[in-house]
Chain A
Amino acid sequence: MRILIVEDEKELLIGISNFLTKENYICELADNFRKAEDKLSIYEYDVILLDISLPDGNGLELLKIIQKFNFKAGIIIISAKDSIDDKINGLDRGADDYMTKPFQLSELNSRIRAVIRRRQFNGDNTLVYNEISINTDAKSVIVNENKITLTKKEYDLLLYFIVNKDRVLTKEALAEHLWEDNVELADNYDFIYTHLNNIRKKIKLAGGTDYVKTIYGMGYKLTDQ
Chain B
Amino acid sequence: MKFLTKINRNYALLLTFTLFVATVSMYFIVQTILLNDSKEKMIQKAGLIRHQIQNTGEIPNIYPIVEVTKQSQFKIHSVKFNQISLNNKSENENEIYLEFAEQVKIGNGYYTIKLRQRTFESEDLQLLLTIFFGFVLISVFGIQFLISKNWTKTLWTDFEKNLIAIEKFSFNNHKQLILCETDIEEFDRLNSIIEQMTLKLQTDYESLKEFAENASHEIQTPLSIALLNLEELLQMELSKDMFRKVITSINALKRLSSLNQSLILLTKIENRQFLADTVISFNELVTLKAKEFESLFETKKISVSYEFSGVFSAKINAQLADILMNNLLSNALRHNEIKGFIHISISTNEFKICNSGASNGLNNDNIFSRFTKMNSETFGLGLAIVKNICSTNKLEIQYLYDNIHCFSIRHAP
Contact = CB atoms under 8 A, between A and B. Distances in A.
A100 B265 CA distance: 15
B229 interface: yes
Interface in B212-246: 213, 216-217, 220-221, 223-225, 227-229, 231-232, 234-235, 240, 243-244
Nearest to B264: A82
B333 A185 contact: yes
Contacts of B232: 15, 18-19, 105
B243 A219 contact: yes
Contacts of B221: 9, 12, 80, 101
B254 A12 contact: no
Q: Which of B216, B257, B326, B377 has the most CB of A within 10 A?
A: B216
A12 B225 CA distance: 6
Contacts of A184: 258, 330, 378
Contacts of B333: 185
B228 A186 contact: no
Interface string A92-128: 0000000011111110000000000000000000000
Contacts of B264: 82
Contact of B231 (A82, A105, A186): A105
A106 B293 CA distance: 24
Interface string A134-173: 0000000000000000000100000000000001101010
B227 A104 contact: yes
B13 interface: no
B253 interface: yes
A172 B251 CA distance: 8
A187 B101 CA distance: 120
A104 B223 CA distance: 11
B385 interface: no
Contacts of B330: 182, 184-185
Contacts of B223: 101-102
Q: For this complex, into which size category does the number of interface residues on chain A fall?
A: 35 or more
B119 interface: no
Nearest to A102: B224
A9 B228 CA distance: 13
A56 interface: no
A185 B296 contact: yes
A168 to B, nearest CB: 5
B292 interface: yes
A135 B257 CA distance: 36
A191 interface: yes
Contacts of B59: none
A16 interface: yes
Nearest to B375: A187
B334 interface: yes
22 contacts: A12-B225, A15-B228, A80-B216, A80-B221, A81-B217, A84-B319, A101-B220, A104-B227, A106-B231, A153-B295, A179-B295, A181-B326, A182-B292, A182-B330, A185-B296, A185-B333, A187-B377, A191-B299, A216-B244, A218-B244, A218-B247, A219-B234
Interface of A: 9, 11-12, 15-16, 18-19, 53, 80-82, 84, 100-106, 153, 167-168, 170, 172, 179, 181-182, 184-187, 190-191, 215-216, 218-219
Given A82-B261, A168-B235, 20 more contacts: A12-B224, A12-B228, A15-B225, A19-B232, A80-B217, A80-B221, A81-B216, A84-B319, A102-B228, A102-B253, A105-B231, A170-B234, A170-B247, A179-B295, A182-B292, A182-B330, A184-B258, A184-B378, A216-B243, A219-B247
